[in-house]
A and B are shown apart, each in its own frame.
Chain A
Amino acid sequence: MFNYLFFKGCTIPASLPNVEKLALEVLPEIGINLIESDEFTCCPDPIRLQGANQYFWISTAARNITIAEEKKLNIMTLCNGCENTLAIVNHKLKNNPALKKTVNEALKNIGREFKGTIKIRHFLQVLKEDIGLDHLKKMVKTPLTGLKVAGHPGCHLLMPNEILQFDNPVDPEFYDQYIEALGATSVDYLTKADCCGISLALAGDKEASNRCVKTKLIDMQLSGAQLISTACPSCFNQFDSGQLMASRDYPKLKEKPIPVLYAVELLALAMGRSFEDIGYNLHRVKIPIKIKR
């Protein structure tokens, strides 16, 4: 069993609580034991809060890391944004003694110190490095045979590659291998490595956001995908509620809506759960999907 301190972040507890619940239930079945903590704050996010004040962004992330250091546990997160922030800050502070000194001066005021003793891992990295997809394949109870899934790895788990060292940022492969390990068929599509577009909506340009997600959704439709799957909660929201928003501008999307499943939801289906069990009713796009079992 691999023990990890569960960094829930903000998006999962607030908008995908069923995923939080599912992770705590299902991940122990594949050898990941998650320990909860209520001491964490927002990571903070690498797009807007890093932009507001980089020094605050670094010291807040460092504070979160010290919580795991005190417990002598590595962190696991289900969010690409949290992974991006925490892994970048952990790497910077481990490799830049001057920055570490400055940040520790700030942390001293709250009785904390960054030591650089733990690792930060996204769920997919834990699968890749600790569990192994071959082993995961053997643990699958109800393989998702015949299900065509378009994987969306998301940007913030791929770059900066020199720090995250997770997958090829230009032509990512791991998410497709994960889909295949669960017994489903991963479909290839042109815009796989492209951004989901949610940041365009968050910055106020809904039209651009709709156009961006539409481009990906049409590509996925053409590839024959029945489902989308991603391991980033923000991308999930863009493919779920964002798809509904975009379908007002692009009626073609209404003809063949494609539901999205978060990575742990897809895993739960392969571990014998039903669509009802995974909280599918909480999704916005929820057309019935049949799996041969």
Chain B
Amino acid sequence: MKVLRLKYEKNEITKKNKAIEVCFKCSTCSKFCPITQHVKKYNLEDSFITQLFEAEKPEALNDVWMCCACEKCVITCPQDANPTEVFTNLKEKSYQEGLAPSIVYRLVEQLLQESTVYSIKFANMIRKRAGLKEVKKNEKAVKELNVLAEKAGLERKEVN
């Protein structure tokens, strides 16, 4: 059995997520993790969670964005390591470094333009079919969101 060794010692991630150090790779969480269960390259011996915990630059592993924060790992972890929280922090770092999937940058762009993650134009086409009134862009809400984004330091990146 492999022993979990953290390759990134006391870096930003371990400092922010002290819980990583208590993980003893029992794989209990992985049995319930939808990523380890269904993504072909992972298995219980070599799970998504342990690969992330062992990687030198875990924020660069795009699969962290597959984590749906279902918290099955949180319920089952005997060490209370809270992997979901670690993944959210890794996603944030990945986003800041421009390593997140382009869809995430597009979502942010859409949100800051119309205050919704859907395109109002396309939604209205579907709403018309259902006999519902049109959604209108709320300019005040959009403006407020942009202020909050600026205060939070949310970067917008151009993607193709």
Contact = CB atoms under 8 A, between A and B. Distances in A.
Interface of A: 10-11, 13-15, 17-18, 20-21, 38-42, 44-56, 59-60, 63, 84, 106-107, 109-110, 112, 155-156, 159-161, 169-170, 194-195, 197-200, 202-205, 207-209, 211-212, 215, 279, 282
Interface of B: 34-35, 37-40, 62-63, 65-72, 74-75, 87-89, 91-92, 94-95, 100-101, 103-104, 107-108, 111, 115-118, 122-123, 126-127, 129-132, 135-136, 138, 140-145, 147-149, 151-154
Contacts of B130: 17-18, 21, 279, 282
B71 A41 contact: no
B71 A160 contact: yes
A42 B108 contact: no
Contacts of A110: 143-144, 147-148
A107 B126 CA distance: 34
A41 B68 contact: no
A54 to B, nearest CB: 6
B44 to A, nearest CB: 16
B21 to A, nearest CB: 22
Nearest to A51: B91
A130 B1 CA distance: 51
16 contacts: A10-B118, A13-B123, A14-B116, A14-B123, A41-B111, A42-B116, A48-B65, A52-B92, A52-B104, A110-B147, A110-B148, A155-B71, A203-B62, A208-B39, A211-B38, A282-B129
A59 B148 contact: yes
Contacts of A53: 92, 95, 149, 152-154
A38 B63 contact: no
B141 A40 contact: yes
B152 A14 contact: no
A167 to B, nearest CB: 13
A197 B70 CA distance: 10
Contact of B154 (A40, A41, A52, A198): A52
A195 B70 contact: yes
Given A56-B154, A208-B39, 9 more contacts: A15-B126, A20-B132, A51-B95, A52-B154, A56-B149, A106-B152, A160-B74, A170-B75, A194-B34
B34 A200 contact: yes
B117 A42 contact: yes
Between B69, B107, B116, B140, the greatest number of chain A beta carbons within 10 A of the residue's beta carbon is seen for B69
A17 B95 contact: no
Secondary structure at the B interface, as helix, strand, loop or mixed, is helix
Contacts of B107: 48-49, 52
Given A13-B135, A49-B107, A106-B151, A200 B35 contact: yes
A208 to B, nearest CB: 4
B34 A212 contact: yes
Nearest to A62: B148
Between B87, B100, B116, the greatest number of chain A beta carbons within 10 A of the residue's beta carbon is seen for B116
A147 B131 CA distance: 29
A54 B138 CA distance: 24
Contact of A38 (B94, B136, B151): B136
A155 B147 contact: no
A21 B34 contact: no
A158 to B, nearest CB: 8
B76 to A, nearest CB: 8
Between A51, A155, A200, A279, the greatest number of chain B beta carbons within 10 A of the residue's beta carbon is seen for A51
A46 B91 CA distance: 12
B75 A47 contact: no
Contact of B118 (A14, A59, A169, A215): A14
Nearest to B105: A52
B63 A203 contact: yes
Nearest to A44: B111
A217 to B, nearest CB: 13
B116 A41 contact: yes
